[in-house]
Amino acid sequence: MYRSRLLTPGPVELHPKAQEALSRPQLHHRSDAAKKIFLQARAGLEKAFQTQGQVLILTGSGTAAMDALVLNLFQPGQRVLVPVQGNFSERWARIAHEAGLEVVRLDLDWGMVVRPEHLENLSGQFDGFLLTHSESSTGALNDVQTLAQTFKARCPEGLVVVDAITSLLVSEFELENWGLDAAACGSQKGLMCPPGLAYAALSPRALQCLKPRSFYLNLGAELKVQSSGESAWTPAINLVAATAAVLEELLPRLPQHTALKKQQNDILYTTGDQLGLTTVPEVKSPATTCFYLPEGLKYTQVKDAFAARGATIIGGQGQLRGKVFRVSLMGYSDIYDAYAVARMMRDALSFD
Ligand SMILES: *Cc1c(COP(=O)(O)O)cnc(C)c1O
């Protein structure tokens, strides 16, 4: 008998504070108690994103925050630069295209990171730069601070918008200090809550640029009501309570927490190296490992070998489907869980 383990880069194993918050009786979202919790969650998120601006809580998965940022910060015909290096950066390109923007793609091999040199030979000006901090489909981490600087040197008026969905609370993140204007996150990743909430962070500058053109994902309307702890539509208030509870626990010890995530991920990568696996990302994100499948093995064999030991892992997306597998300890886990999972990797991948 094995204990069950969820080792995917979202959803992840829940934080006990989230589970405890979710077991409370149902609140009405317009009650004073709910408003207090909503404001607590927003204040915690503003600390997590390190912004003097505002974080808006939306009901939806992380993609809702990405869509909301594009639909509220850009107008049809505006020109945006989108590096594509994995499934989630591809998503930025698709969202921007659907929103009627002129998308200039910068296609890189999946697993690679974007470097300032990649921006050198581009022509014309851009109204925006849509970046993925931690590309969870390949396990790569972009240096968004340096990229934002490079972009702003050539397009000072452009807005830098970042998918921080698997970097917030997992790796360091600072909105304004890094020169970023807006960022998106979701509840089922570093926050260790169930799926269902999206968080949209807006710097003071981005707040000046809001021009909403969506009925449901209207950040202007949300801004008006969320400052008093309400939201335009019925929010997933139970998940808001879970968010507030986890942040209360996590924020005071965030540097130790991100150090742990890196240490855990390093342990898994070291084991992968020892097993002769090839790593996918050029620069490793602490959110997840991503390995090419060993010669001669199919993803389903690897997945089943972990499943036989109680664990759920995940394979590749898009062009990496059937080529890679990913194991993540982004969820609630400690250093000894990393050693246990490293041992499981050894056992699961020895097919003799
Ligand atoms: C999980 C994830 C998303 C959002 O996916 P949803 O299914 O909409 O929550 C976006 N970007 C990255 C990097 C992710 O890991």
pLDDT profile of the chain (352 residues), mean per 10: 97 98 97 98 98 98 98 98 98 98 98 97 94 98 98 96 98 98 98 98 98 97 98 98 98 98 98 97 98 96 98 97 98 98 97 71
| 5-12+254-348 and 16-251 in the same fold | no
Ligand 1 touching residue 88 (CB < 6 A):
yes
Ligand 1 touching residue 61 (CB < 6 A):
yes
Tell me the CA–centroid distance for residue 20 and ligand 1, in Å.
25
CA 106, 99, 195, 246 torsion-angle sign: positive
Is residue 306 a contact partner of residue 348, using CB atoms and an 8 Å limit?
yes
Using CA atoms, how far apart are residues 103 and 96, in angstroms rounded to an integer?
A: 7
Q: pTM value?
A: 0.98
* pLDDT at residue number 352: 66
Ligand 1 touching residue 328 (CB < 6 A):
no
Tell me the CA–centroid distance for residue 287 and ligand 1, in Å.
12
Render pLDDT for 35-87 as a digit per residue (tens, 0 to 9).
Answer: 999 999 999 999 999 999 999 999 999 999 999 999 999 999 999 999 999 99
In sequence order, the β-bridge partners of residue 200 are 56, 184
CA-63 nearest atom, ligand 1: 8
Using CA atoms, how far apart are residues 352 and 346, in angstroms rounded to an integer?
A: 12
Is residue 100 a contact partner of residue 128, using CB atoms and an 8 Å limit?
no
Strands 79-84 and 102-107, bridge-based pairing? parallel
Ligand 1: which of 8, 12, 113, 163 to mutate, most ligand atoms within 8 Å of CB?
A: 163
> CB under 8 Å to 199, separation ≥6 — which residues?
45, 49, 55, 56, 57, 58, 65, 168, 184, 185, 186, 187
Type of residue at 92: W
Domain range summary for the chain, segments of one domain joined by +: 5-12+254-348, 16-251
Contacts 24+ apart (CB under 8 A), 296-304: 297/351, 298/322, 299/323, 299/324, 299/325, 301/351, 302/348, 302/349
CATH code at 16-251: 3.40.640.10
Backbone phi, then psi, for 34, in 5-degree steps? Answer: -70, -40
Is domain 5-12+254-348 classified as CATH 3.20.20.70?
Answer: no
Q: What tokens were used for 134? A: 């931690």
* pLDDT at residue number 121: 87
Render pLDDT for 122-156 as a digit per residue (tens, 0 to 9).
Answer: 889 999 999 999 999 999 999 999 999 999 999 99
